[in-house]
A and B are shown apart, each in its own frame.
Chain A
Amino acid sequence: MGDQGQALSAAPNAATEIRFDNVSKQFDRGEESRPAVSDVSLTIEPGELVVLIGPSGCGKTTLLKLINRLYDPTGGVIYIDGTPSQQLAGPELRRHMGYVIQQGGLFPHYSVADNVAVVPGLLGWDKARTRTRVDELLDLVGLPPAEYRNRYPSQLSGGQQQRVGIARAIAASPGTLLMDEPFGALDAITRGRLQEELRELHDQLGQTVVFVTHDIDEAALLADRIAVMREGKVVQYDTPANVIMRPADRFVAELVGADDLLRRLSLVSVAVAMTALAPGDSVDGNEPTVDLPMRVRPVLSMLLESGAPRVIVRDGGAPVGYLDLAAIQAVSVPQIGEVGPS
């Protein structure tokens, strides 16, 4: 998003490590008291972008809200950089964790600039520093400050509101960014653009991101690791490639479309499927090429249309590997249940 070379007025805080240790959350709802989160243990490494995915009611949002103490666990411990979250005051903890929700949740009576400045204000930054930071962030999320600083949320499109929501969440350079279906209410084009930009932003800023969605395409695009949830439990926690190609069970297989070959290929990254170029393997300038990041499915179309035996894969302009039909076939058949839930 925007210029990348500039110095940031807020030094990024170190990315946070989040560890769930046998965490459960049960809501007090009388008779029907199935736990929303049930005995979850997993570690989110500093700087990782982890996507929590599953059908509605699977506990993914509850798991997210346990991280910043919007909910407190009824069992187990959540460690934030090694400190049990219960030892941290909720509001203070939350000021150091960005939070973005689906409906935006911008303050309607605050201008765009004032919305972005909420957390710096809570942290007691001085005016000059806050103002510099606000402009820098609006640039970063692609909203020219001169044009947008003084607008109100009601004067923005849904996509623009989510951009402000993201700028607001990362204003004080938190070590963690929590996102609860942030792009769920946007049209497909805007969603795609914001997904790309979030990925870039994450590469640039490097904080830990926990992202909730029910959209496997979104998960496969964004995640370093995906935690698949069902009925309060994490049934698989692995890289997108492994979740797609080696789903832990029937449920995960269905989620990633195991029965639909083309759909699965549209989730698999070329980087995973390709064969690395051997040293000395010469690339003919006439061979078809694609640039990372790219999914396998469009490459399959290219192969079939061009009739070429292989497509060269480039990363940053330099050829790094190739993809042929054999390699595509190798990633076409899911191996269900070969990897247990981790």
Chain B
Amino acid sequence: MDLLAETWAYVSENGERFQHAVLVHLGLSFGALAIAMLIFIPLGVLASMGGKLTASIVGAVAAVRVIPSLAVILLLLPVFGLGWRPALIALTLLAGPPLVINTDIGLRGVDAATLEAATGLGLTDAQRFWRVKAPLALPVIVTGVRSAAVEVIGSATLAAFVGAGGLGEFITSGITLLDERMLLAGAIAVIALALLTEWSLARLEVRLTPPGTAQA
């Protein structure tokens, strides 16, 4: 309990620095998530169309997944130098797999009879995608966004290694200086952010689940 109180005291003393770190952490995370959504959700749509494309996209994504995020950040160092750029790129790549995989699964999981009926009634391919496929796949895609967000917030801690700032700074400094208060301040804040994000997106997912399709 003492340690927690000391940690709180530490945060209060370093309020401005702490606040700044939280903002950088969130900025990096959600910036990466937004870019990743723009790139990887369309890629998932492409993958869902089947054929050779599916195999190659999903294969590439699986390969990226194997590389540890720290390795990605360090590999990008020679090209982009220190700072937020390698961190942002690494986090964007990290968010890719769950986005691609869930978009692909969500779209391909839409009931075949529903799609046949949609075509049979005279919907064009575009109408069928936007009116039937996308809304029905949306909850699964949001689940992907959720896992990506949590993963990115956790991994943004590593940005500190390349001088990009964020809550990871408190953790790395805490380890180096053997200052438990510093370490805990960073760690707890990261956990809190991850939980809060998870919770908000779970609520969003419920809201975006089309009426009539919610599982009892």
Please give the residue numbers on chain A whose beta carbons come within 8 Å of chain B beta carbons, in ascending order: 68, 70, 91-96, 99, 101-111, 118-119, 122, 152-155, 165, 168-169, 178
B121 at interface by CB-CB < 8 Å = yes
* Structural contact, A109 and B113, CB atoms closer than 8 A: no
Q: Does B116 count as interface, using CB distance less than 8 angstroms?
A: yes
A91 CB contacts on chain B under 8 angstroms: 122-124
| Pairs across A and B, CB under 8 Å, 30 listed | A70-B116, A70-B119, A91-B124, A94-B119, A94-B122, A96-B122, A99-B121, A101-B116, A101-B117, A101-B120, A103-B113, A105-B111, A105-B113, A105-B114, A106-B114, A107-B132, A108-B212, A108-B213, A109-B210, A109-B211, A111-B211, A118-B121, A119-B121, A122-B123, A122-B127, A153-B212, A154-B213, A155-B212, A165-B117, A168-B121
Q: Is the interface of B mostly helix, strand, loop or mixed?
A: helix
Contact A99-B124, Cβ < 8 Å, known A105-B113, A109-B136, A152-B211: no
Chain A binding site: helix, strand, loop or mixed by DSSP?
mixed
Instruction: List 17 additional A-B contacts (Cβ < 8 Å) besides A122-B123, A168-B121.
Output: A93-B122, A94-B119, A94-B120, A95-B122, A99-B121, A101-B116, A102-B113, A103-B113, A105-B111, A107-B132, A108-B210, A109-B210, A110-B212, A111-B212, A122-B122, A152-B212, A169-B121
A121-B127 Cα distance, complex, nearest whole Å:
12
Q: Using Cβ atoms and an 8 Å threshold, which residues of chain A touch B210?
A: 108-109
Partner of A122, one of B121, B132, B135: B121
Select from chain A the residue with minimum beta-carbon distance to B128.
A91
- Residue from B117, B127, B211, B213 in contact with A99 in the complex, judged by beta carbons closer than 8 Å: B117
Given known contacts A122-B127, A153-B212, A107 and B114 CB-to-CB distance under 8 angstroms: yes
B121 touches A94 (CB 8 A): yes
B114 contacts A108, CB within 8 Å? yes
Task: Please tell me if B35 contacts chain A, counting CB pairs below 8 Å.
Answer: no
Residues of chain A contacted by B122 (CB below 8 angstroms): 91-96, 119, 122
B162 CB–A CB distance under 8 Å: no
Q: Are A68 and B120 in contact (CB under 8 A)?
A: yes
Contacts of A68 in B (CB 8 A): 120
Most A CB contacts (10 A, CB to CB) among B111, B116, B123, B212 go to: B212
Instruction: List the A side residues contacting B121 at CB < 8 Å.
Output: 94-95, 99, 118-119, 122, 168-169
Closest to A168 in B: B121
Tell whether B202 is near chain A: CB-to-CB under 8 Å: no
B212 touches A99 (CB 8 A): no
C-alpha spacing A271/B80, complex, angstroms = 88
B118 at the interface (CB under 8 A from A): yes
Residues in chain A near residue B211, CB distance under 8 A:
109, 111, 152
Which residues of A are found within 8 Å of B116, using beta-carbon distances? Answer: 70, 101, 105
Chain A nearest CB, measured from B202 CB (Å): 20
List of B residues within 8 angstroms of A70 by Cβ: 116, 119-120
Per the bound structure, the CA–CA distance linking A84 and B117 in Å amounts to 23
Whole-angstrom distance between the alpha carbons of A119 and B118 in the complex?
10
Closest chain B CB from A235 CB (angstroms): 27
In the complex, A92 Cα to B121 Cα: how many Å?
9
Q: Are B136 and A99 in contact (CB under 8 A)?
A: no
Instruction: Point out the residues of chain A lying under 8 angstroms from B119, CB to CB.
Output: 70, 94
| CB-nearest residue of chain A to B117 | A105
Query: Are A107's CB and B113's CB within 8 A?
Result: no
User: Which of B99-126 touch A at CB < 8 Å?
Assistant: 111, 113-114, 116-124
A162 → chain B, closest Cβ, in Å?
12
Q: Give complex CA distance A72, B39 in Å.
A: 36
| B117 proximity list for chain A (CB < 8 A) | 99, 101, 104-107, 165
CB distance from A95 to the nearest CB of B (A): 3
For residue A51, give the distance in angstroms from its CB to the closest CB of chain B. 19
Nearest-neighbor residue (CB-CB) of A111 within chain B: B212
A153 to B113, CA, bound (A): 14
- Within residues 162 to 199 of chain B, which ones have a CB less than 8 A from any CB in chain A? none
Specify which chain B residues have a CB less than 8 angstroms from the CB of A155 in the assembled complex: 212
Is the CB–CB distance between A109 and B135 below 8 Å? yes
In the bound assembly, the distance between CA atoms of A122 and B111 in angstroms comes to 22
> A218 → chain B, closest Cβ, in Å?
20
Question: Complex: how many Å from CA A91 to CA B123?
Answer: 6
9 A-B pairs closest in CB distance? A105-B117, A152-B212, A109-B210, A95-B122, A99-B120, A103-B113, A94-B122, A105-B113, A91-B122
Give min CB distance, A15 to chain B, whole Å. Answer: 19
Closest to A98 in B: B121
Distance, CA A294 to CA B125, complexed state (A) = 46
**B136 proximity list for chain A (CB < 8 A):** 108-109
CA distance A95 to B127 in the complex (A): 13
What's the Cα separation between A101 and B210 when bound, in Å?
Answer: 23
- Which of B113, B124, B132, B212 is in CB contact (< 8 Å) with A104? B113
Name the residue of chain B whose CB is nearest to the CB of A68.
B120
* Nearest-CB residue, chain B, relative to A94: B122
How far apart sit A84 and B43, CA to CA, in the bound complex (Å)?
39
Measured CB to CB, the closest approach of chain B to A77, in angstroms, equals: 21
Smallest CB separation, A145 vs chain B (Å) = 17
A118 to B213, CA, bound (A): 18
A109 touching B123, Cβ below 8 Å: no
